[in-house]
Amino acid sequence: MKYHVKDIGLRGKGRKRIEWAERDMPVLRRIRESFSERRPLKGVRVGACLHVTTETANLMLTLKEGGAEVYLCASNPLSTQDDVAASLAKDYGMPVFAVKGEDNRTYYNHINEVLDRKPMITMDDGADLVSTIHMKRKKDAAGVIGSTEETTTGVIRLKSLAKSGLLKFPVIAVNDAATKHLFDNRYGTGQSTIDGIVRATNRLLSGSTFVVSGYGWCGKGVSMRAKGMGANVIVAEVDPLRALEAVMDGFRVMPIAEAAKVGDIFCTVTGDLHVIRKEHFKTMKDGAIVCNSGHFNVELDIKGLKTLTKSRRVIREFVEEYRLKNGRCVYLLADGRLVNLASAEGHPASVMDMSFANQALSAAYLAERGSKLENRVYAVPEAIDKEIAKMKLETLGVKIDVLTAEQKKYLEAWEMGT
């Protein structure tokens, strides 16, 4: 079996960490048990392009238990956990193509390794498998029943592809399930981003001025957790509604050009291009720390930053010092890539439990129903979303009320008022 990982000798550590994460993924465990009996993915080749983490390993093993043949590559050159990749390849016999720090050419070679195996279902985090099929490997589309997409950025790309009328198979937007984005994007990104910044810098957040660009679910999570650590949080937004939410949530809101002058730590989570640019880097305080927790490494204009720079050096792991011509230093974390996955371990297992429960059940849904679907972007069926919320509550030991017959009737009746 072919695979490409950094060091197969890391497998022992990886296996134990995969087991550690499994403990905190009870919903996925339940699905694995049911998959083991039902085998809904029997004979289905699944190609996955996801962050290669302990949580993803548990998803891959669940799909295998459901009968799938699974191939895995990384969805970001810096997010791979090499010990996990080694364990999946050696302990679980899975063709894995992922090496932390791989260059762009290797990254795309790995995507092609997965596509060479002619997946019938593709599973993306950022839409790179689907976009490669549509741009470079059009013939492969005929064999694809459908795809699932994990993240906001990927869903935006895929909706744009569908809108242009070129999407060649159905896609399920896992990101848009309530049990995904309300928890993973908010609490997962919130915690793991702070974790990444702290691990990379060991800076005290308390009392610092922390600037968050973007107040979507990820931005809300990062702002909330930075505030919880005692930082003074400033939010920069382009959307009036979201900006208003940030104001009402108690944050200062201002354009990034103003925030740039006062921030100590900057984090972008917008999903858009060049959110912090040359003109902003120029005005930053000496020692400003800049990072990104959005999907692609495009939110910070690093090329622009380089043109302002006299010299650069890596001052500690994941921290690069840019000494500017104006004499000040700006510190860039993780090369502008996802800081939560590059310098920490991504979202904790407990929250990925719900995201990946959506992935597993959506894959089974595609295997069963995909041929009847149109070539467009679908929501995760509501029944699946609700079932995952129910299972998560059960596994947390939380009970909730049920409506009385009288309450149900009241909610259904337009005639009744006070």
Q: Give, as ranges, the residues between 263 and 282 that touch ligand ADE (CB under 6 A).
A: none
Question: Which residue number, 61 or 284, has a Cβ lying nearer to ligand ADE?
Answer: 61
Sheet strand arrangement including 288-292: 252-253, 232-236, 209-213, 265-268, 288-292, 329-333, 319-324, 309-316
Range 376-415, binding ligand ADE (CB under 6 A)? none
- Of 56 and 208, the one with the shorter C-beta distance to ligand ADE is 56
Alpha-carbon distance of 181 to 217, in angstroms, equals: 7
Q: Name residue 273's amino acid.
A: L
Going by the DSSP 8-state scheme, the letter that residue 140 receives in this structure is G
Alpha-carbon gap, residue 293 to 300, rounded angstroms:
11
Helix extents (H) in 75-232: 82-90, 104-116, 128-136, 152-163, 178-180, 189-201, 217-228
Please, are residues 317 and 323 in contact by the beta-carbon 8 Å criterion?
Answer: no
* 346 binds ligand ADE, rule: CB under 6 A: yes
Indicate which single residue of 53, 193, 270, 293 sits in contact with ligand ADE (rule: CB under 6 A).
53
56 belongs to the binding site for ligand ADE (CB under 6 A)? yes
Write out the two tokens for 177: 């399930």
Determine the size of the site formed for ligand ADE (CB under 6 A).
11
Q: What is the DSSP letter of 234?
A: E
User: Using CB under 6 A, which of the segments 242-250, 297-305, 345-353, 357-365 binds ligand ADE?
Assistant: 345-353
Nearer Cβ to ligand ADE (234/380): 380
Binding segment toward ligand ADE, per CB under 6 A, in 36-44, 248-256, 341-349, 367-375 = 341-349
Please identify, using beta-carbon distances, which residue of 191 and 232 lies nearer to ligand ADE. 191
Phi, then psi, of 121 in degrees rounded to 5: -125, 135
Question: Which one among 226, 352, 360, 367 touches ligand ADE, defined by CB under 6 A?
Answer: 352
Collapsing DSSP to helix, strand or coil, 255 comes out as coil
- The single residue among 22, 24, 55, 195 that binds ligand ADE, judged by CB under 6 A, is 55
Nearest to 235 by CA among 250, 99, 225: 250
End-to-end CA distance of the chain: 69
124 binds ligand ADE (CB under 6 A): no
Q: Which residue is nearest to ligand ADE (CB)?
A: 346
Identify which of residues 52 and 284 has a Cβ nearer to ligand ADE in the complex. 52
CA distance 269 to 193: 10
* C-beta closer to ligand ADE: residue 208 or 340: 340
Site for ligand ADE in 176-205 (CB under 6 A): 188, 192
Shortest distance, position 365 Cβ to ligand ADE, whole Å: 20
Q: Give the residues lining the site for ligand ADE (CB under 6 A).
A: 50-51, 53, 55-56, 188, 192, 341, 346-347, 352
